[in-house]
Every structure is written in structure tokens, then in C-alpha cells.
Amino acid sequence: MNIYAGNLAYDVTDADLREAFGAYGEVASASVITDKFSNESKGFGFVEMPNGGEANNAIKALNEKPLKGRNMRINEAKPREARPPRRNAW
């Protein structure tokens, strides 16, 4: 199951997410989304957990819980919506 982790402190790392979710089961991947130009955190990330039961337990346990001083917003990630291709402005 793909899980959205929002309202993250800007100093939260991939390893921090993996550790927090790892307490509830196997974590296949954990990544904090960063700005492609500045490489700074955008304050959210995604965690992939292969076991749905473990993932649901992690969502319930970690939603609104603090990590590095901010209460995380945790829920099942929604599928990415298709966007039309961008046109060049010049």
C-alpha cells in the first residue's frame, strides 16, 4: 500500500520515515519529496508497505503523531491524476 505522509518537518529524512513506519511492519520504500532546484524538503513524502494490514495499523497509529516537532498527517495515497502535457511559454 502506498501511504502519504504530510505536514512533515523540513528536516525529516527518508531514514526517519522508514524508522517511524518500520515499527509497524515491513517498509519497501520511504521517500521525502524534495524541490528539484533547491533539493529542500517540500514537507511531504510517501511510504510503501507491502502488507495492507501493517500499513493500515501504521496509518492509524501515526496520523496526528509528532515527528521532529510536527504532527504528521498520514493517509492512504491517492492515485496520481493524469495531467495534460505542459506547453513552453516561450
In whole angstroms, what is the distance from residue 2 CA to residue 37 CA?
A: 26
What's the pTM?
A: 0.86
In a domain, 82, yes or no: no
In a domain, 88, yes or no: no
Enclosing domain of residue 15: 2-76
pLDDT attached to residue 60: 98
pLDDT attached to residue 87: 77
- Count the domains in the chain: 1
pLDDT attached to residue 8: 98
Query: For residue 68, what is its C-alpha cell?
Result: 521532529
Low-confidence ranges of the chain (pLDDT < 70): 89-90
pLDDT attached to residue 84: 80
CATH number at residue 50: 3.30.70.330
CA distances from 35 to 10, 22, 23, 32, 82 (A): 11, 25, 28, 10, 20
Pairing between β-strand 73-76 and β-strand 41-48 as defined by DSSP bridges: unpaired
